[in-house]
Amino acid sequence: MTLEEFFKASPKVAVSFSGGTDSAFLLWAAKEYGCDVKAYYLRTAFQPAFELEDARRLAEELGVPMAVLETDILAIPEAAANGPERCYYCKRALFSLLWRAALEDGYPVLADGTNASDDPGDRPGMRALEQLQVRSPLRECGLDKAEIRRLSKQAGLFTWDKPAYTCLATRFPVGTAITRPELTRVERAENVLMAMGFYGFRVRLFHDAARIQLPKAQLAAALVQREEILSALQSDFRDVLLDLRPRPDPV
């Protein structure tokens, strides 16, 4: 099956739109193939502010209507407790909310940007999507991340080379409760590093320290800018640590 065939068979679709590469391409494809589509952005404490800005920009460029659904994700005990199944409970709550909004707006199909590169074994949230009958057209059509980036560039989408950005909850060790103040300081630290030109990195909470994980090619730059990084982050964290085990290069 191709995306064109998917949208011909499902001509009225609600898309869970994060502002990232995958859901951006899915939204473009829906519009390209004549689908009546509406984007829904789920705004929670787990999403950084820049993601909403990117989502609004792309929806406007494509001429696709977008709704912003806000919810207190930390009010879900299983999400705030951050156990090994956190993603399952989070996705189940968020996509249940999204389903209600989509159906109220008259959209009988709900789709997300899961692609063929995503491993269900590493993503408990995919189980929730299956239970809620959320469609994943990119995955169903066999499109992996590399192909989505290639096609996105061809389509002229500014998101084609946007680094993958998992939700801020992933910065907390499993079993460490997630709080709003901790989320705020992690997001603030990542914004600082982005402004300094770093990308594809993570700032993970490690006790009361910031543990910075960078792709291998950026480790040297972090050492050169050590004082600047320390100055920017030390008011929020007791210690600032650089993990010498590099993150994989951004895909």
Residue 204 CA, chain-centre distance (Å), reads 16
Residues 21 and 134 sit within 8 Å (Cβ to Cβ): no
- Confidence at residue 165, expressed as pLDDT on a 0 to 100 scale: 85
- Confidence at residue 123, expressed as pLDDT on a 0 to 100 scale: 76
Task: Assess whether 74 and 11 both reside in one domain.
Answer: yes
Picking from 24-28, 161-165, 197-201, 224-228, which range would have the lowest pLDDT averaged per residue? 161-165
Residue 22 lies in a domain: yes
Task: Assess whether 134 and 211 both reside in one domain.
Answer: no
Closest CA to 210 of 201, 218, 219, 199: 201
Residue 66 lies in a domain: yes
Residue 73 CA, chain-centre distance (Å), reads 15
Which one is predicted more confidently, 197 or 124? Answer: 197
**Can you tell me the distance from the alpha carbon of 22 to that of 160, in angstroms, rounded to the nearest whole number?**
9
The residue out of 107, 125, 160 marking a domain boundary is 160
- Confidence at residue 241, expressed as pLDDT on a 0 to 100 scale: 96
The tens digit of pLDDT for each residue in 102-148 reads: 999 999 999 999 999 887 666 788 899 999 999 999 999 999 999 99
Average pLDDT over residues 159-177: 93
Task: Assess whether pLDDT exceeds 70 at residue 215.
Answer: yes
Tokens of 217: 């090619």
**Can you tell me the distance from the alpha carbon of 147 to that of 72, in angstroms, rounded to the nearest whole number?**
35
**Can you tell me the distance from the alpha carbon of 3 to that of 137, in angstroms, rounded to the nearest whole number?**
7
- Confidence at residue 125, expressed as pLDDT on a 0 to 100 scale: 85
Q: Which domain holds residue 219?
A: 179-242
Average pLDDT over residues 211-235: 95
**Can you tell me the distance from the alpha carbon of 108 to that of 173, in angstroms, rounded to the nearest whole number?**
37
**Can you tell me the distance from the alpha carbon of 44 to that of 138, in angstroms, rounded to the nearest whole number?**
24
Task: Assess whether 190 and 117 both reside in one domain.
Answer: no
**Can you tell me the distance from the alpha carbon of 125 to that of 107, in angstroms, rounded to the nearest whole number?**
22
The tens digit of pLDDT for each residue in 8-21 reads: 999 999 999 999 99
Task: Assess whether 149 and 197 both reside in one domain.
Answer: no
Closest CA to 94 of 83, 78, 107, 106: 78
Tokens of 74: 């930390």
Average pLDDT over residues 198-227: 94
Which one is predicted more confidently, 250 or 4? Answer: 4
Task: Assess whether 145 and 207 both reside in one domain.
Answer: no
- Confidence at residue 251, expressed as pLDDT on a 0 to 100 scale: 60
Residue 249 lies in a domain: no
**Can you tell me the distance from the alpha carbon of 192 to that of 64, in angstroms, rounded to the nearest whole number?**
31
Residue 65 lies in a domain: yes
Name the pTM for this structure: 0.91
Task: Assess whether 12 and 118 both reside in one domain.
Answer: yes
Which residues have CB under 8 Å from 68's CB, separation 6+? Answer: 40, 41, 43, 52
Task: Assess whether 90 and 40 both reside in one domain.
Answer: yes
- 72 residue type, one letter: D
